[in-house]
Amino acid sequence: MGRAVDLPGAAHLVLVDNVLHLDPAPAVFEAMLEGWARQQRTRFLKWDSTIKPRLSLVRRFATFTNQYPWEWEPAEVEAFFDHIRANNPNFTVSTGRQYQNGLRMFMDFICDARYGWLSICVERFGRAPAQILHEWNSITHVTEFEGQPARRPLTYEEVQALFDAADGRAEDKRERGRKGALTAMRDSALLKAFYAYGVRRQEMVGLDLADLRRNPKMPQYGRLGALFVRYGKSSNGSPPKRRTVFTVPEMDWVVDVLDHYLTEVRPRFEVGNHPALWVSERCGRLSKRCANEAFENAREAAGLPPELDLHSLRHSMITHLVEFDYPERFVQDQAGHAVAATTGIYTNVSDEYRNRLIRRKLTERHAELWEDDQP
């Protein structure tokens, strides 16, 4: 069985020797899952966001088929996805690809001879598992963007409507002396910061007061010249990526917004020495769920389309930076994208911008022609 191999997740490291199970099939299946989880933990993958959902998917597929992995065939996985799509019209291509990759990786794990699961299955059940996903029953990756078509950046008018609604909610609660006025003021500042800096949810709620940075080139912004993001999106088990997001002149109104929040609003939460920039009514760090609710409340009050979500503000910032004629590399660094192609996916410039760009190029072109005609 290859006991000389001690890879994390190997069969002999998970299954208990000399134990006779009354029902060996479920015992081996659970050992496979534990071995796969151990292998992923060794790669420093995250439990809540990566490993746990993958294990849940495999269990869900096993329940659907009422079979064990060494019994699975391509027909089962095809029926599984056909069932999901028939019962969930909103099931997206990107989610389908994620599901298929998860099942494919599990099958790759148990079909790898180095881990010993092939010989275990043949020895105990007379059958070895085989990969069930192949080029003919997997999603073909033909486009960079596979998200929901309805998700888009907000227009300038929609951004203003969102902020007006957020300010209006705060003002209404304050004038009426109603509970929640303080949180409404915090939420208004929060949404404006999301747009001005275009950071992700985890990046924003993970900010501490110590992450507010000065920009020597823009001393007029004081301590709000930049944000030092320490909880950027990680990949392949790497630690969170860090970057500095600068306050740009077109968004410098956010300096007054944040200064008011820091001096007038945040102290009233009475959080003491808590390091978080964004705090909750319970004197703790604001959660991602609360950040979502802040956007949803303002969106509803503004009468904006329901397909817009908090992440749309990030799309908006990236798009608008492009329209402000910032270099592609600067926009990419602000967004924290590893490759420029990802930034391009987020960008959806307006017709007005493209027309302006055409007019500018025509003006430059005609100026060159005019210069060439001069004696």
**Nearest of 32, 5, 64, 51 to residue 128 by alpha carbon:** 32
Q: Are residues 160 and 94 in the same domain?
A: no
The Cα–Cα gap between 359 and 242 comes to 39
Q: Are residues 31 and 102 in the same domain?
A: yes
The pLDDT tens digits of the residues spanning 282-298 come to: 889 999 999 999 999 99
Q: Evaluate whether 280 touches 295 at the Cβ level (below 8 Å).
A: no
Structural domain includes residue 326: yes
pLDDT at 339: 74
pLDDT at 317: 92
Task: Give the Å distances, CA to CA, from 343 to 11, 203, 269, 329, 334.
Answer: 43, 17, 37, 9, 10
Cα-only R_g, the chain: 27
Q: Are residues 90 and 165 in the same domain?
A: no
Domain that holds residue 283: 156-361
Which has more pLDDT, 355 or 134?
134
Residues 6+ apart with CB under 8 A from 60: none
The pLDDT tens digits of the residues spanning 53-106 come to: 999 999 999 999 999 999 999 999 999 999 999 999 889 888 999 999 999 999
Structural domain includes residue 309: yes
pLDDT at 374: 54
**Which of the four pLDDT bands, split at 50, 70 and 90, describes residue 361?**
low
Main-chain phi, psi angles of 89, to 5 degrees: -60, -20
H/E segment holding residue 158: helix 156-176
Q: Are residues 74 and 186 in the same domain?
A: no
Which has more pLDDT, 234 or 147?
234
**Three-state DSSP state, 129:** coil
Question: Residue 354: pLDDT above 80?
Answer: no
pLDDT at 1: 42
**Which of the four pLDDT bands, split at 50, 70 and 90, describes residue 148?**
low
Q: Are residues 84 and 167 in the same domain?
A: no
State the average pLDDT for the chain: 87
Helices 288-302 and 156-176 pack at an angle, to 10 degrees, of 100
Q: Evaluate whether 178 touches 249 at the Cβ level (below 8 Å).
A: no
Three-state SS annotation for 307-365? CCCHHHHHHHHHHHHHHCCCCHHHHHHHHCCCCHHHHHHHCCCCHHHHHHHHHHHHHHH
**Which of the four pLDDT bands, split at 50, 70 and 90, describes residue 2?**
very low
The Cα–Cα gap between 224 and 246 comes to 9
Q: Which tokens go with 18?
A: 């000399």
Q: Are residues 160 and 121 in the same domain?
A: no
pLDDT at 221: 96
> What is the CATH number for 224?
1.10.443.10
Last residue within a domain, chosen from 125, 141, 164: 125
Structural domain includes residue 22: yes
Q: Are residues 95 and 215 in the same domain?
A: no
Q: Are residues 293 and 218 in the same domain?
A: yes
Q: Are residues 163 and 285 in the same domain?
A: yes
Structural domain includes residue 243: yes
Task: Give the Å distances, CA to CA, from 259 to 97, 203, 221, 272.
Answer: 44, 20, 10, 18
Structural domain includes residue 6: no
Q: What total of structural domains would you count in the chain?
A: 2
Cβ-count burial 85-123 (b if 16+ within 10 Å, e if not): eeeeeeeebeebebbbebbbebbebbbeeebbbbebbee
